[in-house]
Amino acid sequence: MRDTFNLRSRFQARFGPRTPAPRAFFAPGRVNLIGEHTDYNDGFVLPVALELGTTVIAAPRDDRRVRVHTVDLDASAEIDLDQPGPGNTGRWIDYIAGVAHMVDTTIQPIRGADLLVAGDVPRGAGLSSSAALEVATGFALLSLAGATIDRVALALAGQAAEHTFVGMRCGIMDQLVSACARVGSALLVDCRSLAAEAVPLPGGPVAILITDTRKKHALATSEYNTRRAECERGVALLRSALPDIRALRDVTEEAFTKHASLLPEPILRRVRHVVTENARTQFAADALRRGDIEAVGASFVASHRSLQHDYEVSCPELDALVDLAIAQPGVRGARMTGGGFGGSTVSLVDESALDAVMAAVRDAYQRRFRVEPGFLITRGGAGARELDT
């Protein structure tokens, strides 16, 4: 989380002093423990909020204009809420313009504002810096308008912003955990009903280690939308035998095995991943509740192999990090996390082994790829909130 005192000073230097003082808001990024590419198939996910995210310093205006400055890019832009949004321009402002318009039209009318935005989630690492930006911005604009925050509605507005203004047909997971996470817990989310259950993390002797490949992924320009279309094709083909299914979430492992002959390649493998990943996610959540870390770790590895071979969204860097991690003593399991084609892995590691694991992985990965991986340890952060003055 960025230093809000410094950010408030920068806000005043850019926008001028305000009475009352500008307010500070924060929303976290996330790491998904398991449940990858299941959210847009109405399935189950098990993410954890990070302690890192996006901070927004905000003050209201008397008009309907939103002026924004991003500290990270040292860039400014302006939005007129009374004019149609510009759509997908490919610029950073698309995320903010999208959520401002969606909040204004789907939740309640908002007023103009001056916003200073700063983030500390590594962009392109698969840790959802974009959802943190959307949720923090929406939370700030609604709070300035005096709204009672409906966190699920806020998450849906962020998702709609990505669909409409960014061109990324994302599921609801990233925005929902950024809005609704609880400290020290993963969030088991049913992406159809949006029901969310806090599942306590093991804590104590086991840490969640995130390792950044340093290979940036760009989901909106990757094969993400292609994978979503392949899943939809799988549903259409399976309906000849399973007429009541609405999404792959409705296909059990038994039904998939029975009717797999209806599916050509690569649709068959895409469907197999989603069906088995939904089962793994629910199994892993139950194992966490029991404190069975070995079972959770085994689910991680099975998930990665499915993403690697059936869903084909991994890459050599992700595969190397997983293989290096699970070869180390004290690592209970590892997998890629996020959309894929780059980004990060997540591992369950004994606290006592963390330094040795990071050193071994760093050295071997650097020798192979000529770049040093990044490391981040999390114990589960809280969702979006206003920060103390």
State in Å, rounded, how far the first CA of the chain is from the last one: 14
CA–CA separation, 224 and 141 (whole Å) = 30
Which tens digit of pLDDT belongs to each residue from 291-302?
A: 999 999 999 999
> 219: pLDDT confidence band, cut at 50, 70 and 90?
low
> 222: pLDDT confidence band, cut at 50, 70 and 90?
low
Q: Please tell me the predicted confidence (pLDDT) of residue 90.
A: 82
Structure tokens at 232: 């939809």
CA–CA separation, 145 and 147 (whole Å) = 6
Q: Please tell me the predicted confidence (pLDDT) of residue 52.
A: 95
> 238: pLDDT confidence band, cut at 50, 70 and 90?
very high
- The reply to whether omega before 86 is within 30° of 0 (cis) is no
Which tens digit of pLDDT belongs to each residue from 118-175?
A: 999 887 777 888 999 999 999 999 999 999 999 999 999 999 999 988 888 788 899 9
Q: What share of the chain has pLDDT > 70, as a percent?
A: 97
Report, as an integer, the average pLDDT of 91-108: 95
> 66: pLDDT confidence band, cut at 50, 70 and 90?
very high
Q: Please tell me the predicted confidence (pLDDT) of residue 96.
A: 95
Q: Please tell me the predicted confidence (pLDDT) of residue 169.
A: 77
CA–CA separation, 341 and 99 (whole Å) = 26
> 197: pLDDT confidence band, cut at 50, 70 and 90?
very high
Report, as an integer, the average pLDDT of 306-322: 97
Structure tokens at 206: 């086991």
94-103, 267-276, 293-302, 380-389: segment of lowest average pLDDT: 380-389
Burial class (CB in 10 A: 0-12, 13-18, 19+), 319: middle
138-147, 187-196, 206-215, 221-230: segment of lowest average pLDDT: 221-230
Domains defined for the chain, CATH in brackets: 4-199 (3.30.230.10), 202-378 (3.30.70.890)
Give the CA count within 13 Å in the CB-facing half-sphere of 67: 10
The answer, yes or no, to whether residue 88 has pLDDT greater than 80, is no
Q: Please tell me the predicted confidence (pLDDT) of residue 1.
A: 63
Report, as an integer, the average pLDDT of 206-233: 84
Q: Of these residues, 39, 114, 174, 310, which one is catalytic? A: 174
Please list, in sequence order, all residues whose beta carbon lies within 8 angstroms of the beta carbon of residue 21, skipping any fewer than 6 positions away.
Answer: 8, 59, 389
Please say if 174 is a catalytic residue. Answer: yes
Q: Please tell me the predicted confidence (pLDDT) of residue 117.
A: 98
Is residue 38 within 8 A of residue 45, CB to CB? The reply is yes
Q: Reduce the DSSP state of residue 260 to 3 states and report it.
A: helix
Q: Please tell me the predicted confidence (pLDDT) of residue 220.
A: 44
